[in-house]
Amino acid sequence: MNPTKITPETWRTFGSAVLTFVFFWDLIRRYCPPELRLYFERSGRRISGFFNPTIQISIHEYIGSHMKSHEAYGMVEAYLSISSSKDAKKLKAEMAKENEAELVLSMDENEKTTDEFNGAQVVWISGKVPSPPQTTSFPYYREPEKRYYKLKFHRRYKKLITESYLEHVMKTGKDRIQARSRQRRLYTNGHSKSYWSHIAFEHPATFETLAMEQEKKEEIIEDLLSFTKSRDFYKRIGKAWKRGYLLYGPPGTGKSTMIAAMANFLDYDVYDFELTSVKNNTELRKLLAETTSRSIIVIEDIDCSLDLTGERKKKMEKSGETDTEITKKPSSRRDREAESGSQVTLSGLLNFIDGLWSSCARERLIVFTTNHVEKLDPALTRRGRMDKHIEFSYCKFEGFKVLAKNYLNLEEHPVFGSIQELMEKVKITPADVAEILMPKSAKEGPEECLQSLIHALEVQAKETNNVAAAAARENHEELVIELNRMDSQGSRN
């Protein structure tokens, strides 16, 4: 039939055929047995597939009911950041990690782009599944939107796409990620969230700028490098590829800065775990399952996060009360918040560290920090859970030299000798030294900053001597009283 000579009679015949088909199809749906109806539906799909030769592959951002991040999604996203700028009309821009003046472009949601591989034309489509509505049971929880990519191609290219093209996409995307084209991410579950949110991780700390003895820094660097190269070793001994670090010491000694330096050195993302925002062990496992490989999971001030230190057991032994009775009588604001909020237990946290759930991702560091290591339960800090313990003490002269280089661009100065002598007599944190060395105005130069530090050290040394002298006097007075008591008792005898 010549399409240029379609008559009204032809249209009437076509419309009648369509109406007849719809009529019989409705009869089949209403009155046919389920088995026969299923047969017709399958036949309909086969007929539809015959006329529509397109094959579709979906790659979602999360997999599983626990919303574990899908590594393939990140690789596809990185791959499309290279090719999508060719013909996509809607792009999103992110800052390049190594060069802040450079933008990395990638395909925005609900956009599509084409690609070619060995003569095969493919189409990539980005989209997202809207978040389900909030429920009355959890009014403050809203599940994040789930993004995905769809790959469409002609069925004649199925073997080429599934066997070669997808492998090419994964390899190119992985290389793109390893080339550090994107910012690392800092994740948090704070503000009563049961899912992760993130921002760009831009902390500038490095091991070179860390105020710590060089020998100690080299020891930590060697340990980190050994861990990243030990995949086969961990597999051979049957352990999850993870390592635990316990950072302990007084406040202001550089524990958080060390974590940032480790992340920058290894090029890992950071998950800042806020335990008090986690309702129970089930939610803890859910959050853990969402973390990715090549990451650092951090719980800062673990002794202050929850009642996980064994103090509850000691209270029960002293008072004879039961665990339920103590729970009913919170002794502080923090205890009341813990009672009304998180119900994470020590056993749940231990399973998070080295139980079955600890193997849900590979190549991860688990880092705990504390100001009072003596308060932690031994089950939490034993080797195998916290494999390496790193003590952060008060600032030594070698650490001061690093800070002088960072803040004043000085490697040597005539007053360094005096500062070294004073630092051997007093305890001062790297944070305090850094604050004193930081110029307060444009007129304040290195000389004034160093003199301010010397003055602060001298004042603290004097206070330390006064405290020591007062303690000595008190001890002497107690000794004299005790001797007099013994003489008096001897005279009566």
Dist. CA 340–CA 337, nearest whole Å: 5
pLDDT of residue 308: 57
Q: How many helices (H) and strands (E) does the chain have?
A: 19, 15
pLDDT of residue 86: 64
Residues in a beta bridge with 154? 54
Sheet architecture: strand order including 197-200: 197-200, 185-188, 269-272, 295-299, 364-370, 242-248, 388-391
Each residue's pLDDT tens digit, 32-49: 677 666 666 666 666 555
Each residue's pLDDT tens digit, 383-416: 878 999 999 999 999 999 999 999 999 999 999 9
* Residue 246 and residue 435 in contact, taking contact as beta carbons nearer than 8 Å: no
Cα-based angle 365, 386, 256 (whole degrees, multiple of 5)? 60
pLDDT of residue 48: 58
Tokens of 298: 């951090």
Distances in whole angstroms, Cα of residue 427 to Cα of each of 259, 350, 476: 23, 35, 25
What is the H or E stretch that residue 369 is in? strand 364-370
Distances in whole angstroms, Cα of residue 13 to Cα of each of 6, 19, 262: 11, 10, 75
pLDDT band at 76 (very low <50, low <70, confident <90, very high): confident
The CATH class, in words, for 197-306+342-391 is alpha beta
Dist. CA 454–CA 417, nearest whole Å: 11
pLDDT band at 175 (very low <50, low <70, confident <90, very high): confident
Of 266, 265, 260, 243, the residue nearest 364 (C-alpha): 243
Is residue 238 over pLDDT 80?
yes
CB atoms within 10 A of CB 369: 22
pLDDT band at 147 (very low <50, low <70, confident <90, very high): confident
Tokens of 45: 């799909």
The reported pTM is 0.65
Each residue's pLDDT tens digit, 310-358: 444 454 455 454 433 433 444 444 454 444 456 788 888 888 787 777 7
Q: What's the mean pLDDT when you consider all of the chain?
A: 79
The pairing of strands 185-188 and 269-272 is parallel
In three-state secondary structure terms, 188 is strand
Q: Which residues of the chain does CATH 3.40.50.300 include?
A: 197-306+342-391
Burial call 228-244: b when 16+ CB within 10 Å, e when fewer = bebeeebeeeeebbbbb
